[in-house]
Amino acid sequence: MTRGLRTWPRAVIAAILGMFLLFGGAGAAMAQPADNGVEGKTFVIGTDTTFAPFEFRKDGELTGIDMDLVRAIAEDQGFNVEIRSLGFNAALQALTSNQVDGVIAGMSITDERKAVYDFSEPYFESGIQMAVAKDDDDIKGYEDLAGKTVVAKTGSEGETYAKSIAEEYGFSVKALDQSATMYESVKAGSAVAVFDDYPVLAYGVAQNNGLKTVSDKVPGGSYGFAVNKGKNTALLAAFNDGLATLKADGGYDKILDSYLADPTAAVPTTFVDLLVKSFPALMSGLKNTLLVTAISFAVAMALGLLAGFMKLSRNIVVRGISTTFVNIFRGTPLLLWAFMFYFGLPQLTGWDVSIWVAGVLTLSLNSAAYVAEIVRGAIQSVDPGQLEASRSLGLGYGKSMQKVVVPQAFKMMTPSLINQLIIMLKDSSLLLAIGFGELLYQGQQIYAANFRVTETLVIVGFIYFIAIMALTKLANYADRRFNK
């Protein structure tokens, strides 16, 4: 009896402890957040290159409202983001070709876009304003635009609104790709006014971009984060959840206020200050320019030599293959192939093509077509008697070409090859259209934030000049050394 009484409390205590652990463990499990399908994953997000204050570079780092929002949402929802600064149209192409998982770029939610993309809940309510040059006192409203030209950003809400009233007020609309380019167009007088999103205009005016607003804000659409239709639904849901959290805890207002509450004018800096601040980013761009040029030229030389000799073949099929290759890549724009390799190839094959691969393919295949013609022309320029003389001395056709014809042809083709190398270096600037971080691309990133377009382009042009002169000197030295 005594033993039973002593044992009973122990049994009861053990049972109570067991129940506590059971329900406590269940409660802890219930308290854990459910897997949102994105935690721990990394998503590639495409964005514009120049759309301050939503996305722009400051001290070399990509920043702005959109960038702060997507990074804060990613941190809140437990996923990672890799940002690719491509340009608005290029970002949409990258999304369509599945090169990126989503796009956030001050993108207005429209019925046409909703047919192709799925959008998040709106994260910003936009509107359109018109601005003119700061010293322009003639344009005070839409009625003063008759017979004149205005500019707006390609594919933007500003372009849509400007075109909707163009006939009523008798003006024409020219679409440009970047805000900074539009503003320079107005200041230069090639257009009298610009239509743009009001926060972008307000930020630019505050940064002394040389414009002033002359119209009231016209209520516009809403900005949203976009993914491909029916894809990345977990990412879209996580974005909405993170946005709701930011709005609830005040983080959303804090981000907006940091850019829009008081966008005071930047402290004026000297040209030297601009050069010092821009130098690291521009040197990074120059390194990429030189590297992609060097790799592409090596590939172009190999392919061009092969195609050039094939054009001299006695076999009609071999000649036909080479001629077709040369005609295709010499007869089509280089920029077309940049878009085709970076955006089109993934859609056709399902392969993920890196921007470096796309850049090298674009430059090397285009240049190889020209190198092939340089090689063919140089070989055919060698006196046919040279080949006949070597054959008469008992050398075969292959040995005669190797020992007699090709060395003479190489001396003749060297200046043209050097010229092709210089052309390739300059053509590399076209890769900025797909977001490749070469020298001119870095220059665009800089003047998009400080609106000092002319000064920045002068610096970029000077760097190109120095690089090209140095490369020319080096190539000419090599020519003299090996072609004595």
Q: Which of 331, 339, 341 is nearest to 366 (CA)?
A: 331
Cα dihedral 260, 262, 268, 273, rounded to 10, equals -60
Token pair recorded at residue 53? 């204050």
Strand partners, 131: 194, 213
Amino acid at 359: G
Q: Which residues of the chain have pLDDT under 50?
A: 1-9, 11-34, 265-267
Give the count of beta carbons closer than 10 Å to the beta carbon of residue 222.
17
CA distance 223 to 89: 16
Domains 125-222 and 271-483 share a fold: no
CA distance 128 to 106: 13
Q: Where are the domains of the chain?
A: 38-123+224-261, 125-222, 271-483
The pLDDT of residue 388: 60
Task: Give a three-class secondary structure readout of 134-188.
Answer: CCCCCCCCHHHCCCCEEEEECCCHHHHHHHHHHHHHCCEEEEECCHHHHHHHHHH
Q: 331 by DSSP, 3-state: which?
A: coil
Q: May I ask the CATH architecture of the domain 271-483?
A: Orthogonal Bundle (1.10)
Q: Which of 132, 314, 254 is nearest to 205 (CA)?
A: 132
pTM: 0.72
Q: May I ask the CATH architecture of the domain 125-222?
A: 3-Layer(aba) Sandwich (3.40)
- 236-247 exposure pattern, b = at least 16 Cβ within 10 A, e = fewer: bebbbbbbeebe
38-123+224-261 belongs to CATH 3.40.190.10: yes
Amino acid at 235: L
Exposed, middle or buried: residue 423 (CB in 10 Å: 0-12, 13-18, 19+)?
A: middle
The pLDDT of residue 244: 96
The pLDDT of residue 391: 61
The 10s digit of each residue's pLDDT in 152-186 is 988 788 898 999 999 999 999 999 877 778 888 99
Report residue 223: phi and psi, to 5°.
-85, 145
Q: Are 343 and 99 in contact (CB under 8 A)?
A: yes
For the chain, the first-to-last Cα distance in angstroms comes to 117
Report residue 469: phi and psi, to 5°.
-65, -40
Q: For the chain, what is the total number of helices (H) and then of strands (E)?
A: 19, 13
